Amino acid sequence: MRANLPDKSFFVGKPVPGRADVTVIEWVASGNDGHLFRAHSNELGRDVACKIIPRNNLQHGSDGREIWRAEILKANALRNPIVVKVEHICDWPNVPMPGDAEKFEAVDCIALISEFVDGQCLKCFAADYPDEITVSFIVQWLATMLNLLFEMKQRSVNHGDMHAGNILVEDQSSYNVMGPRFVFRVTDFGVGDTTSEPRFKDDYLQLADTLAQLLRAVNYQACSPKDKFVFNVLRHHFLARHLVETDPTLDPLAKQPRDLISRLQVLDAEFEQTAAQESARLLTPFDFLSCEQIGEAAILLRALYSDRFLGLSEIESQNNVVVTGPRGCGKSTVFRSLSLDQKMRVGEAVPNQLRYLGVYYRCDDLYFAFPRYIVPNRDEALDIPIHFVTATLLARLLDSLEGWARHYFADEFSQAESKAVDALWTVLGLAPPRAPGSATFKAVVSALNKERLKASERHRFANDPKRSVGRCFGPEVLQKACGILVNNFSFCRERPIYFFIDDYSSPKVSKPLQASLNRLLMQRTSVCFFKLSTESPVSFEKHDIDGKIYVESREFILHNLGLVYLHAELEPKLTFIDDVFRRRLNTSATSFSARELQDLVGNNAKQNNNELARGIRDGDKPLLWGKETLCKLCSGDIHYLISLVGDMVRLSGGPVELAKAVEAPFKVPQATQNRAIRDAAGSFLKNLRGVPRCGIQLVAIVEAFGNVANSHLKFLDSKNEEGSPPKQATRIEPYEPFALSEDAQRLYDELLRYSVFIEDFRGKSRRGSVVPRLYLRRFLIPHFNLTFSFRDSIELEPVDFETFLLAPQSFDQKLRLKSADDAKRFEKQQNEAKNQLSLGLGGSPQ
């Protein structure tokens, strides 16, 4: 309540009584208890603040003692630099009060001369710069206030009026180039309004009130997970307990500034710990088939991650690498496991064991921000996706790097942080926030997160000429920012930065979007490398919007895990698969009587494909069992094997029933293994049918192939082989390179995308042409009653290949053999076609 205040205009232009060198220049603000003016001291040669308060508004004891004076002098004893100290207290008696001119009334005032702070009060600052009120700003502010309260507690000082109007945001940039540009200051110690309620005189309650105001200014829904976590701790712990509770038995941190500062300082670590302690546990060895399901459970991820993963060394090489492979082949597990965040969480980020700094990013984020992206009409909008991705990757890098550096290189980080941040603001072309803490990684991360939102908003109106796109980060910004980190921190110098970009796959990340982002992600530099994982070779765009074509082995290395597994020897595959199951069996919370894969499914190394094929020809369905069979079923899709063994265990009655098979060399009966293997393929086809737009066609295509291959096995023999074993084809081999129609190409791409077939584009046809070979996904082989032999192919002319894709039923009718006579006719046609070619008659045989 404003009371006893004289007319402010009375003071302007007048010298302060008792300080003849000080003249009041202009009114700045009025509070409940007095007026604040800017004044100038001729003696000091600078401006000073002059606060004028009617004596009646100041605190007095019942005996008339001037309690306020003691409070002001006590505050002057504080050494914390944020305190605005009163330099001089003067009496200004007989100041006229506004009102009836004939009935003269006057009050006695005092004038408090103090340093003039160039800046705004926090209340005005929050109103004028709402965007600057971020979670990191609030933490910085609260820590500063608690630090002051710590000293106040030591010296038994109470402010008595610590509201947002008495907290200042000072701009020091006009005189301080070394330190921070903006700092918090606290003014008006001991001059609290005598009319205030006692609860407002409690500094902690005032702090809580300001904290609540600031938190209300934060857009919670736009916050990162970490900021949301901190926001909720501030709200539920600091606001609801620590700052308002008075009984330390109810809250040990109640009004304990030192402890509260400690709590604030560990919030980042708390966030990481709560993430790492996520309750995800492996209840059975067959849980968590995909990496994403593991969630933030870092320990579990570490326990399940096998460093026997085939192709790991290529991924870790200092190259840009595009990793492709069927879903569930472990791409995400490897990428996440190699990130700095994950290594920090599992205690494997010791500097001497860390060759690079990995940042993990999953492209779901891109998919939702740029759904069905097409290149915008306006040139200035082209860089919007790069702006978004640069902001995202750099924010993640800075966040990870800060956590790691504060742990292992705290001194160097503290010393170099502000210099690096200054350079980062310059490279980013962003104005630093006009707030304390602007020279910190956290401030840059907050700003970058806002840039993400801006980019997303701009994208919605990319083609609207009425809306300005604004400046966007170019492809060079991320690289330059990484360069700044390398130049400013010695611990970054020997360690390149790896960006692990997971699921960079069309159509989710559309080809035009990839073409735009490739300008960033295909850059070759010495400071950062990009590792892209994509579902299939056709889900990655190999050029950019400038028309530049990215050539494999020059701009990037293509690492096709599907092919790696197809062509790998049995031994390394078995070693990896054994390791995967060993980890799962030993980590599982359920007591399992098996510790190794072979304890469950046994060894079956002696299976002979030719014998199996002869059996199939005789009408048998081969009994499929054993860990070698599992290995042969794997096209890299390790999650499928885990799920399959899980099915076998379920079909066997679960771990309790399995434990009863004490005498058996392995737990799951052969017939049960066989059934599970065959059922799993059926489920895959059912799910494939649910694929948007073309699921039904994909199923028809693969069924046509399976039917044809099975009929060839039954009625044709393999060429040039001793004993003339049955023809065992599980792949398609075109005779010639082919150009598909648009519709056929779309289906072809979808077949590869869902890894129904795995493409080996380095194949060589019987006619000597370089052609792609298509291998049937291994675990579909039993469904069509084929064998795991790699020897034979279904060879197709380009025209048949087109038919295969567009009219699989016709393909089936044409190439499926129904009898031995059929087979003879087929072979005759093949031979005639071959002869025509060798005679140079040309043309494709029909």
Interface residues with other proteins (CB under 8 A) are 199-200, 205, 208-209, 212, 215-216, 219-225, 228-229, 232, 235, 239-240, 244, 275, 287, 290, 292-296, 327, 336, 360, 362, 364-365, 367-369, 371-372, 392, 395, 449, 452-453, 456-457, 459-460, 503, 508, 679, 682-683, 685-687, 689-693, 695-696
Helix (H, G, I), strand (E, B) or coil at 758: strand
CB of 561 vs other proteins, minimal distance in Å: 17
Q: In terms of CB distance, is 288 or 811 closer to other proteins?
A: 288
Contact 233, 142 (CB under 8 A): no
CB of 517 vs other proteins, minimal distance in Å: 17
Q: In terms of CB distance, is 21 or 679 closer to other proteins?
A: 679
CB of 193 vs other proteins, minimal distance in Å: 15
Q: Cα separation of 564 and 800, whole Å?
A: 29
- Cβ neighbors of 236 (< 8 A, separation 6 or more) are none
For residue 298, report the phi and psi dihedrals to the nearest 5 degrees.
-65, -40
CB of 205 vs other proteins, minimal distance in Å: 7
Q: In terms of CB distance, is 25 or 691 closer to other proteins?
A: 691
CB of 539 vs other proteins, minimal distance in Å: 13
Q: Cα separation of 513 and 367, whole Å?
A: 10
563-571, long-range: CB within 8 Å, 24+ apart, which pairs? 563/758, 563/760, 564/310, 564/311, 564/325, 564/636, 565/310, 565/325, 565/329, 565/634, 565/635, 565/636, 566/635, 566/636, 566/758, 566/760, 566/775, 566/778, 568/310, 570/628, 570/631
Q: In terms of CB distance, is 292 or 721 closer to other proteins?
A: 292
Parallel, antiparallel or unpaired: strands 119-121 and 182-186: unpaired
Strand order in the sheet with 757-764: 757-764, 770-776, 729-734, 792-796
Picking from 470, 320, 465, the residue whose alpha carbon sits closest to that of residue 387 is: 470
CB of 318 vs other proteins, minimal distance in Å: 25
- Buried/exposed 95-134: b ≥16 CB within 10 Å, e otherwise: bebeeeeeeeeebebbbbbbbbbebbbbeebbeebeebbb
Q: In terms of CB distance, is 199 or 419 closer to other proteins?
A: 199
CB of 62 vs other proteins, minimal distance in Å: 27
Q: In terms of CB distance, is 602 or 808 closer to other proteins?
A: 808
**Residue reference for tokens 């085939």:** 310
CB of 425 vs other proteins, minimal distance in Å: 20
Q: Is the dihedral of CA 221, 227, 229, 235 positive or negative?
A: negative
- Cβ neighbors of 379 (< 8 A, separation 6 or more) are none
Helix (H, G, I), strand (E, B) or coil at 29: strand
The C-alpha R_g of the chain, in whole angstroms, comes to: 37
Picking from 397, 447, 439, the residue whose alpha carbon sits closest to that of residue 417 is: 439
CB of 228 vs other proteins, minimal distance in Å: 5
At CA 783, angle to CA 777 and CA 789, rounded to 5? 55
Which tokens is 627 given? 């860990």
Q: What is the 3-state secondary structure (H, E, C) of 474-489?
A: CCCHHHHHHHHHHHHC
CB of 342 vs other proteins, minimal distance in Å: 10
CB of 336 vs other proteins, minimal distance in Å: 7
Q: In terms of CB distance, is 382 or 395 closer to other proteins?
A: 395
Helix (H, G, I), strand (E, B) or coil at 49: strand
CB of 224 vs other proteins, minimal distance in Å: 4
Q: What is the 3-state secondary structure (H, E, C) of 75-86?
A: HHCCCCCCECCE
CB of 751 vs other proteins, minimal distance in Å: 14
Q: Cα separation of 41 and 24, whole Å?
A: 9
Q: In terms of CB distance, is 163 or 542 closer to other proteins?
A: 163
Q: In terms of CB distance, is 566 or 633 closer to other proteins?
A: 633
Contact 504, 533 (CB under 8 A): yes
CB of 215 vs other proteins, minimal distance in Å: 5
Q: In terms of CB distance, is 153 or 454 closer to other proteins?
A: 454
Helix axes 135-154, 225-233, angle to 10 degrees: 30
Output helix, strand, coil percentages for the chain, rounded to the nearest 5. 45, 15, 40
CB of 841 vs other proteins, minimal distance in Å: 44
Tell me how far apart the terminal alpha carbons of the chain are, to the nearest angstrom: 98
Q: Specify which residues 360 forms β-bridges with.
A: 500
Q: In terms of CB distance, is 685 or 833 closer to other proteins?
A: 685
Picking from 599, 606, 581, the residue whose alpha carbon sits closest to that of residue 652 is: 599
Concatenating the DSSP letter of every residue in 657-687 gives HHHT--SSSSSS-HHHHHHHHHHHHHHHHHH
CB of 567 vs other proteins, minimal distance in Å: 27
Q: What is the 3-state secondary structure (H, E, C) of 54-66?
A: EHHHCCECCCCCE
Q: In terms of CB distance, is 489 or 757 closer to other proteins?
A: 757
CB of 241 vs other proteins, minimal distance in Å: 11
Q: In terms of CB distance, is 361 or 666 closer to other proteins?
A: 361
CB of 99 vs other proteins, minimal distance in Å: 33
- Buried/exposed 22-58: b ≥16 CB within 10 Å, e otherwise: bbbbeebeebbbbbbbbbbbeeeeebbbbbbbbbebb
Q: In terms of CB distance, is 447 or 613 closer to other proteins?
A: 447
Q: In terms of CB distance, is 90 or 453 closer to other proteins?
A: 453
- Buried/exposed 260-278: b ≥16 CB within 10 Å, e otherwise: bbebbeebbeebbeebbee
Q: In terms of CB distance, is 99 or 682 closer to other proteins?
A: 682
Q: In terms of CB distance, is 243 or 732 closer to other proteins?
A: 243
Q: In terms of CB distance, is 396 or 773 closer to other proteins?
A: 396
Size of the chain in residues: 846
Q: Cα separation of 140 and 126, whole Å?
A: 14
